[in-house]
Structure 1
């Protein structure tokens, strides 16, 4: 029996561009893998570095939690390097087309969908607000949820730009994330990890601050 998949981490750096603005950012790239198979979550900035981290393991899926360019700009090249399909929720196609005109993801992500790697189930939860097609990836066997830019240590993701909405992201966090077990580790799109238990008590503070 191959070993159970574990979580591997890579930080890549590049540019986030939206609404005419440009910001230098560092992104978390997450890999769920055993010694044979891997899934990549949020292929940011540096496809060769991500491919090197994966090595000779078979990449089953490239999952994009949302389509802001800093989370998907390396996706087509990584797909070419690994032969893996790119998964994206269809509600984020307008953002994807800004990053990759003329290109298209291979597969649609759907709420309730399950993707397997190394015998583990990855549960897709639609968590819009930061973007219309934002998703989180919940892996009960690893006590882990990968939230992209929906939930960070200290609060929700930004909602001040196009395609985003503050009440929607609060609803997603309240109904789709804070219902998870408190020990669930939150693996974010940028910055440090946190847990559901650490963030849950602060929801009402975020609501007040956001208004």
Structure 2
């Protein structure tokens, strides 16, 4: 069976530097009729799992460690199974380990059961993503590319066979990715984007974490103009 891509768009909140923003996030499901990988679960586990249906979730990949991509990650990984041993592995880059720990430590504070709170505080991703790492699903390969800037551990996922780049919040249509227009480290993000876009085929579809899709060629043309954004953020 051929691999295909499905999208679930949901609304919710994302926190950056203790400021909460309203966002509309894209979750992507890659696979076939039997197995899938979920990229960037966000806000609405029920809608994501409805789209997954009775297919097996083989992995859940978070392209960054902000709360928009963590707030339903456990529910999606569990996919309705009460036994944690059967949950899909959750993958995150080690550069966002602090964001992960802060998020689950906050959840632990609100947990009345001490054993559950302890479990949340000690929770770690099952897979630490690395630049050059790969996943395989439905006969295609998903390549991990580290693109620090939006967060220290931001990654994008490239699939040559499908001609697709899952850009997370590293790159949105028409501009570098951000939450609420806020850039954490824009110069580093622009360096990551310059290195990312140049070697990829120009007709590669870019499926971002927020907003509509675009292409590598369209965004590479815009890259140099984004330097003005960096100057503004420095000011």
Fold match, TM over 0.5?
yes
Given the alignment, which residue of 69, 86, 89 partners 2:93?
89
Cα distance in 1 between the residues matched to 2:13 and 2:102: 14
SS in 2 for 1:9: strand
Distance 1:34 1:122, change over 3 A: same
Aligned to 2:10: 12
Quote how far apart the aligned CAs of 1:24 are.
1.6
CA displacement at 1:158 relative to structure 2: 2.9
Q: Does 1:75 align with 2:73?
A: yes
Equivalence map 1:22-171=2 (5 Å): 22-81=20-79, 83-101=87-105, 102=121, 103-158=123-178, 164-171=184-191
- CA RMSD, 1 decimal: 1.5
The runs of 5 or more residues in structure 1 that have no matched partner are none
**C-alpha contact (below 8 Å) 1:19/1:161 kept by paired residues:** no
Contact residue 57 and residue 79 of structure 2 kept, 8 A = no
- Whole-Å separation in 2 of the counterparts to 1:109 and 1:125: 9
Residue in 1 that maps onto 2:196:
176
Aligned residues: 208
TM-score w.r.t. length of structure 2:
0.84
Distance 1:209 1:14 in 2: 26
CA 1:161/1:153 → structure 2, altered by over 3 Å: closer, same or farther?
closer
**Residue aligning to 1:21:** 19
Distance 2:45 2:102 in 1: 19
Contact 1:126 1:135 in 2 (8 A): yes
Deviation at 1:53, TM superposition (A): 0.9
Does residue 187 in structure 1 map to residue 185 in structure 2?
Answer: no
Shift, 1:78, TM fit: 1.4
| Moved beyond 6 Å, runs of 4+ | none
Task: Give CA-to-partner distance per residue, 1:35-56, whole Å, 9 cap, x none.
Answer: 0110000010111221111011
Q: 5+ unaligned residues in a row in structure 2: which ranges?
A: 81-86, 106-120
Between the aligned partners of 1:167 and 1:67, the Cα distance in structure 2 is 20
Q: Distance in 1 between matches of 2:157 and 2:200?
A: 12
